[in-house]
Structure 1
Amino acid sequence: MAITHTAETRPKRRRRPPEEARRIVLEAARTLLVEKGPQALTLQGVAAAVGMTHGNVTHHFGTSAALHAALVADMAEAMAREAELSVQQMRAGHIGPETVVARIFEALNRGGYGRLVAWLAASGDIATLEPFFAAVEREVTLLRGVEPPETDSHVRGTGPITFMLLAGALGATLLGPDMVRATGLTDAAVAQLFVTQMQSMRAT
């Protein structure tokens, strides 16, 4: 015999705390980013991936731009922490510059983050990238604070190195393998180019 649930007997759907719901949505967005690319990061697409209604995702993020900004901020914080740790380890002599270069490139490639940043920039959605720029500025200011005071910050040190590495890593995210092939280089040779540039630009 079929059981008919009344309002009193119907199982209640558990209401997730707002922070948990946001975390679940962001995790689903990261998966979509890897599997289908940044163009798939719509509120409808993420809602379908996570098993929520479009209204629920809208309640937590409001717009696709807000979802993109939250994802950029989340990934920027992780990248900034890794970059800061890598530079501190290099300055202490625990790792070499080649490891720093490899980690920066990996941080932007991981989870399609570099593709997202480049896609938003190409779309003209610069405001959404503000968390990325804020994280970069914060880390540059922090790391520059322990450099020799006479360092020309326009030529040497954290600022120029960060610009060079991030610009190169973003370019490699989009065109890396094909550009390496077109120029007749190897991945190892390209990595060494960045290491050499980084060494020449370090504060002394």
Structure 2
Amino acid sequence: MTLKAVGGRIGRTHANLLHHFGSAEGLQRALIARMATYITSTIRDAVLSNREGDGDPDPRRIVDLVFDAFDSGGAGALASWMILSGNRDALDPILSAVHDLVDELAVGMQPAGRPIQDETLHLVLLALGDTLLGAPMARALDLPRSKARDLAVAMLTVDPDRRGHCD
């Protein structure tokens, strides 16, 4: 992502973007911070809305929001680019926003045996992996494209004390 390429795409000059962001890295940091705010506020709103309704968030809605943020929202591609380019520090706004969201949602709602931190890690890693390799892997295994999302929903809905047990 260069300032020239971004400027051309949005109808602004390289100099205009340089003035506002200082560098391509500054633009990337601003984009990541904006993305982190949007993603976490969308998920927060969905969880809180569901809690107000029947007390439990709809797992499929939450899974779809997280997967969509990484896929169509661009967070997966951006995170991958930052990691591959060696600019891991640029991910700090996302990591910090997710940490704050998890802390906020965990207050008074932490089910025994199912820490929200564990579920968040699992869900984010599934969503990121699905964004990067989900479609070709599902095709290679003759699975429906939605299989990773289905697995994520199952992870969120299974009784943690029953995980790994066969009845």
State TM-score, norm by structure 2.
0.83
Match of 1:50 in 2: 10
How far apart are 1:52 and its partner, in Å? 3.2
Alpha-carbon separation, structure 2, partners of 1:122 and 1:183: 27
Alpha-carbon separation, structure 2, partners of 1:201 and 1:119: 36
| Aligned partner letter, 2:29 | A
Alpha-carbon separation, structure 1, partners of 2:11 and 2:48: 42
Alpha-carbon separation, structure 1, partners of 2:139 and 2:10: 39
Deviation sequence 1:90-144 (CA, Å, 0-9, x none): 4343762112111211122224222111221122211111111111011011011
1:200 aligns with 2:162: no
Tell me if the contact between 2:43 and 2:65 (Cα under 8 Å) persists in the aligned partners: yes
How far apart are 1:189 and its partner, in Å? 3.5
Alpha-carbon separation, structure 2, partners of 1:51 and 1:107: 25
Give the one of 133, 136, 141 matched to 2:98.
136
Give the one of 53, 69, 78 matched to 2:38.
78
How far apart are 1:188 and its partner, in Å? 3.8
Tell me if the contact between 1:83 and 1:104 (Cα under 8 Å) persists in the aligned partners: yes
Match of 1:38 in 2: none
State TM-score, norm by structure 1.
0.69
Tell me if the contact between 1:161 and 1:198 (Cα under 8 Å) persists in the aligned partners: yes
Q: CA RMSD in A?
A: 2.1
Report the identity percentage: 33
Match of 1:88 in 2: 48
Match of 1:110 in 2: 72
Tell me if the contact between 1:101 and 1:191 (Cα under 8 Å) persists in the aligned partners: yes
Give the one of 117, 124, 130 matched to 2:86.
124
Distance 1:191 1:46, change over 3 A: closer
Q: What is the aligned length?
A: 158
Alpha-carbon separation, structure 1, partners of 2:159 and 2:80: 25
Distance 1:192 1:72, change over 3 A: same
Match of 2:165 in 1: none
Alpha-carbon separation, structure 1, partners of 2:159 and 2:33: 28
Gaps of 5+ in 1: 1-40
Q: What secondary structure, in the 3-state scheme, does the structure 2 residue paired with 1:187 have?
A: coil
Alpha-carbon separation, structure 2, partners of 1:191 and 1:48: 36
